[in-house]
Amino acid sequence: MVGGTNTSGVTVSNNTISNISYTGTGSGVAYALYANTGNAASNIIFTGNTVAGVTSAGTGTNSGLIVGGATGGVTIQKNSFSNIKNTNTVG
Is the pLDDT reported for residue 28 higher than 90? no
pTM of the model: 0.87
- Number of helices followed by number of strands (H, E) in the chain: 0, 9
> Mean pLDDT for the chain?
90
Report the largest interatomic distance among the alpha carbons of the chain, rounded to a whole angstrom: 41
Edge-to-edge strand list for the sheet holding 31-36: 2-3, 31-36, 63-67
